[in-house]
A and B are shown apart, each in its own frame.
Chain A
């Protein structure tokens, strides 16, 4: 092929990107005076490799948006398969796809629809991959529904930063939604506030005390939780509860209903049972569209410098969105926490108010609910000794005796403890302050 012919085919290829190219080849009032529009930016946009984590409600939108923003090399990770309740918003899936892997179906669909984009799916967990894998990407865009997975990727990316190598700094763009609400945030690991710094923005719902469930239920949800946590254990211990098995949900529903009738409580329904047991969060296409597009808009600006982006040090890095009462956004700079266990350089211990009379077991169980900790399987060590270890079994046995001891008998006021949890590749340091 002659040079001229190659050029012509190249140009006709770009005809498709007429609108995008206007932005890529014209400076604007907010672009940096040194920014070079045109060829170089078009080139670097089509070369940058992006990882999308999650191929669900946000992930489907993110893949579509990035493909239509001129990115050519996308990777996507998701371990889930398609369920019928996904179809009201996950628009890359059809009824015939139910049961197939989300990452695979989503990648093939967008590749077919948007010519020239390559999407590599991985159907599995983010924890399966190592630093070398994450190092190949220019950026990571997350559309997850799990706090735990977010914290894991955040800690991994912060851990990868090597001051000598600017390429090791991978911007993390994260979106999340719940009903009509959501948020989009940009993290430049070690430079801006990170997911762990922002953990208390997403406080877990307080669990209902076990004694309420067992003896004094008042709400229909209490009866469902009772069936879920207590009745199942007592009566069907040998069967593993499967939230997706209608027979199991029906059993729980009938148990809950019967209990509710005993206590004269109304309102237990099949749908509520499902909602409580599976911890269902309402989700709609419109909020997903807003949050995913906001994330991709930031990704596009970061990759092209066509305009200022969120997350630039000392500027806004977080957009909060609420859409149930009119439309409201709050865009602000979330500050880095000096005692963040993940991104703080000093690795200071975070102060934690505790009741010195509570047992070690009560303290450890409480960690799951504390907004600043949210640790489900903690192992703990004081300055002096191992207090409790979940693994390995012999160490667990050796330290089990401490669980019933009072905190005051194990640590002194103001003592530092180190807590690890298998879900996270790091150690959390806390300074225990007696109330």
Chain B
């Protein structure tokens, strides 16, 4: 029986279709996507919103709804891919919804043609949705209402601009948005604890290095490098009062010892495992200190006091914090990089790390259960969640979501605790903060200008008279800049200020040139960025933008700032 391989579970039809993405976010990420229902409140030419949905329908979100009261015009056909000639005169939301649905039969699509003003004022209008996208221009009172909804219901909200060669989006996330599965790059995840070895690891090293000098070439050339480093570390410690190499100079001296210990009188004229050991000295001989962001996590108020209704993330974080307080290190993650070694030795080494990781996890789990009982929590946190947290503890991220700017017609813009950092960014030579300011000014113009004879419909700058409007928007933008510098209580050099002002002017001019129109390329690119961020937010994997992203299609550059 043991010789028979288990029957092959070939991939299902769904696994085949989604193969290329499942290799990134896995079955749990996919399930989260399939449980989502995304609302797009579309306005303006509306292309970026549809391009975003395209990139979400393809990987298989559960449902989407488009709210848009616009009627299809000729101009839509030249910029949107999800409309056809015979749709002119019909509802844009309806026809785009149908064409988007064609992309993936597993996704449900809905549309709402009711105007945003009445739709948004219905009670529970936003209730069915797990994430909301809104595109500019939108009336400030509606954006404020959405922002309040995001605050109260913890539903992520995206606000998007795409005008000519420029675009921007801001994300309003819940005030505590933690990510466990951040997918750190493999180079940063190796955590071997060579300076804090436990008895089983030391025993392994001793076993593999006993009688080193008498070893046959082939054996010597297959000692796992971790054992090599531990062996010479013990020797070093004996000669240095029990201390490992502590600074760069000592580490290079230690590296030289390992280099010289390699045999060169063998047929290969060198040893791969010793090369690996030498290569690992500088990066592996550091105390296993958690990053400051992880240590800060343990001090957050939600982490310190666990209540009956605390989210599981905080309960586990609390337990890991206790572990850290006790031992000064995080739980061992348990993975070992590949290295030159015989199969059996490598598997043995893997098991040394794995059993230590299991032991650490068991201890954390015990604390979790204790905290659960003390806080009178009704349901137990699943073991696999605690295990995942232990495994990735060093790379946990906490994003403190906050509202973005809603530009009101009669109020100046407030930057609060961000003012100083933003002004500093403003002085960098290639800063895109002036472009963000240009977008705020663009919103202010729209908030204070109605279309001729159409109360309620906003007028965006540059639709007819680009030059006059550019003048007005520049005035607004320079005022925003001055207010920002004042709020930050910063003093800038005269020429620094002049440079910033001329950048603001140029960005405004280029923005107004488009007259509120979208270019398909910029809409497609922005739709790519926004959909990527939506996927990260829904799957709770990777690290999302915190909280504002700006794209400059003239120079092909992006910037991320926190406002």
Give me the interface of A with B, judged by CB distance under 8 Å. Answer: 12, 15-20, 22-23, 26-30, 61, 64-65, 68-69, 84-85, 87-89, 91, 94-95, 113-115, 179-180, 184, 216-219, 246, 250, 253-254, 257-258, 263-265, 270-271, 274-275, 280-294, 296-298, 300, 307-308, 310, 316, 319, 323-329, 331, 357
Q: Given A69-B520, A324-B183, A16–B58 Cβ distance below 8 Å?
A: no
Contacts of B182 in A (CB 8 A): 325
| CB-based contact B45/A88 at 8 Å | no
Q: Given A91-B54, A300-B521, A23–B338 Cβ distance below 8 Å?
A: no
A258 CB → nearest B CB, Å: 6
Give me the interface of B with A, judged by CB distance under 8 Å. Answer: 3, 5-6, 8-11, 13, 15-24, 45, 51, 54-55, 58-60, 74-75, 77-81, 84-85, 102-105, 164-165, 182-183, 222, 269, 338-339, 341-344, 346-347, 462, 466, 505-506, 509-510, 513-515, 517-522, 524-525, 527-529, 531-533, 535, 542-546, 549, 553-558, 560
A328 CB → nearest B CB, Å: 7
Query: Which B-chain residue is minimally distant from A298 (CB atoms)?
Result: B556
List, sorted by A's number, 8 A–B pairs whose CB atoms are closer than 8 Å: A17-B75, A64-B81, A88-B60, A253-B8, A264-B347, A280-B23, A283-B21, A285-B531
How many A-B residue contacts, CB cutoff 8 Å?
251
Contacts of A331 in B (CB 8 A): 555-557
Contacts of A114 in B (CB 8 A): 81
Known: A23-B164, A23-B513, A29-B506. 15 other contacts (CB 8 A): A18-B517, A19-B79, A23-B517, A85-B19, A216-B343, A250-B8, A263-B343, A270-B8, A280-B23, A286-B532, A297-B522, A307-B553, A308-B555, A326-B560, A331-B555
B152 CB → nearest A CB, Å: 26
Please report the C-alpha to C-alpha distance between residue A296 and residue B519 in the assembled complex, in whole angstroms: 11
Give the most central of A250, A289, A316, A328: most B CB within 10 Å. A289
| CB-based contact A28/B55 at 8 Å | no
Contacts of B556 in A (CB 8 A): 184, 294, 297-298, 310, 316, 319, 329, 331
A271 CB → nearest B CB, Å: 7
| CB-based contact A180/B532 at 8 Å | yes
A295 CB → nearest B CB, Å: 9
| CB-based contact A88/B347 at 8 Å | no
Please report the C-alpha to C-alpha distance between residue A108 and residue B347 in the assembled complex, in whole angstroms: 55
Please report the C-alpha to C-alpha distance between residue A324 and residue B527 in the assembled complex, in whole angstroms: 16
Q: Given A15-B75, A68-B78, A297–B521 Cβ distance below 8 Å?
A: yes
| CB-based contact A28/B527 at 8 Å | no
Q: Given A22-B513, A68-B78, A284–B347 Cβ distance below 8 Å?
A: no
Query: Which B-chain residue is minimally distant from A179 (CB atoms)?
Result: B24
Query: Which A-chain residue is minimally distant from B81 (CB atoms)?
Result: A64
Give the most central of A280, A323, A329: most B CB within 10 Å. A323
Contacts of A324 in B (CB 8 A): 183, 542-543
| CB-based contact A69/B519 at 8 Å | yes
Give the most central of B103, B269, B535: most A CB within 10 Å. B103
A371 CB → nearest B CB, Å: 17
B105 CB → nearest A CB, Å: 8
A405 CB → nearest B CB, Å: 18
Query: Which B-chain residue is minimally distant from A282 (CB atoms)?
Result: B23
Please report the C-alpha to C-alpha distance between residue A287 and residue B542 in the assembled complex, in whole angstroms: 14
Please report the C-alpha to C-alpha distance between residue A290 and residue B523 in the assembled complex, in whole angstroms: 10
Give the most central of A16, A95, A258, A284: most B CB within 10 Å. A284
Query: Which B-chain residue is minimally distant from A85 (CB atoms)?
Result: B19
| CB-based contact A16/B75 at 8 Å | yes
Please report the C-alpha to C-alpha distance between residue A89 and residue B77 in the assembled complex, in whole angstroms: 23
Q: Given A91-B54, A280-B20, A327–B549 Cβ distance below 8 Å?
A: yes
Give the most central of B513, B520, B560: most A CB within 10 Å. B520
Contacts of B21 in A (CB 8 A): 88, 282-284
B163 CB → nearest A CB, Å: 10
| CB-based contact A285/B557 at 8 Å | no
Q: Given A68-B520, A271-B19, A327–B84 Cβ distance below 8 Å?
A: no
Give the most central of A282, A288, A308: most B CB within 10 Å. A282
B501 CB → nearest A CB, Å: 13
Q: Given A91-B58, A254-B8, A284–B555 Cβ distance below 8 Å?
A: no
Contacts of B546 in A (CB 8 A): 326
Contacts of B522 in A (CB 8 A): 293, 297
Could you say which of A18, A246, A287, A319 contacts B75, with CB atoms under 8 Å apart?
A18
| CB-based contact B517/A180 at 8 Å | no
Please report the C-alpha to C-alpha distance between residue A324 and residue B84 in the assembled complex, in whole angstroms: 35
Q: Given A29-B509, A69-B521, A283-B20, A89–B58 Cβ distance below 8 Å?
A: yes
Please report the C-alpha to C-alpha distance between residue A157 and residue B289 in the assembled complex, in whole angstroms: 53
B542 CB → nearest A CB, Å: 5
Q: Given A18-B78, A286-B535, A326–B553 Cβ distance below 8 Å?
A: no
Contacts of A246 in B (CB 8 A): 10
Could you say which of B15, B77, B557 contacts A115, with CB atoms under 8 Å apart?
B77
Query: Which A-chain residue is minimally distant from B102 (CB atoms)?
Result: A94
B262 CB → nearest A CB, Å: 17
| CB-based contact B525/A218 at 8 Å | no
B536 CB → nearest A CB, Å: 8
| CB-based contact B529/A327 at 8 Å | yes
| CB-based contact B524/A282 at 8 Å | no
Give the most central of A91, A218, A329: most B CB within 10 Å. A218
Could you say which of A15, A16, A85, A281 contacts B17, with CB atoms under 8 Å apart?
A85
Contacts of B6 in A (CB 8 A): 257
| CB-based contact A290/B338 at 8 Å | no
| CB-based contact A286/B528 at 8 Å | yes
Please report the C-alpha to C-alpha distance between residue A310 and residue B556 in the assembled complex, in whole angstroms: 8
| CB-based contact B510/A28 at 8 Å | yes
Contacts of A282 in B (CB 8 A): 20-21, 23-24
Query: Which A-chain residue is minimally distant from B104 (CB atoms)?
Result: A87
Please report the C-alpha to C-alpha distance between residue A292 and residue B81 in the assembled complex, in whole angstroms: 15
| CB-based contact B341/A216 at 8 Å | yes
Give the most central of B19, B24, B77: most A CB within 10 Å. B19
Query: Which A-chain residue is minimally distant from B164 (CB atoms)?
Result: A23
Could you say which of A113, A253, A293 contacts B524, with CB atoms under 8 Å apart?
A293
Contacts of B466 in A (CB 8 A): 26
Please report the C-alpha to C-alpha distance between residue A176 and residue B51 in the assembled complex, in whole angstroms: 20
Please report the C-alpha to C-alpha distance between residue A285 and residue B100 in the assembled complex, in whole angstroms: 14
Query: Which A-chain residue is minimally distant from B76 (CB atoms)?
Result: A16
B44 CB → nearest A CB, Å: 10
Q: Given A91-B54, A285-B531, A290–B525 Cβ distance below 8 Å?
A: yes
| CB-based contact B525/A297 at 8 Å | yes
Contacts of B553 in A (CB 8 A): 297, 307
B124 CB → nearest A CB, Å: 31
| CB-based contact B84/A271 at 8 Å | no
A70 CB → nearest B CB, Å: 8
| CB-based contact B510/A30 at 8 Å | yes
Please report the C-alpha to C-alpha distance between residue A184 and residue B466 in the assembled complex, in whole angstroms: 32
| CB-based contact B517/A19 at 8 Å | yes
| CB-based contact A258/B5 at 8 Å | yes
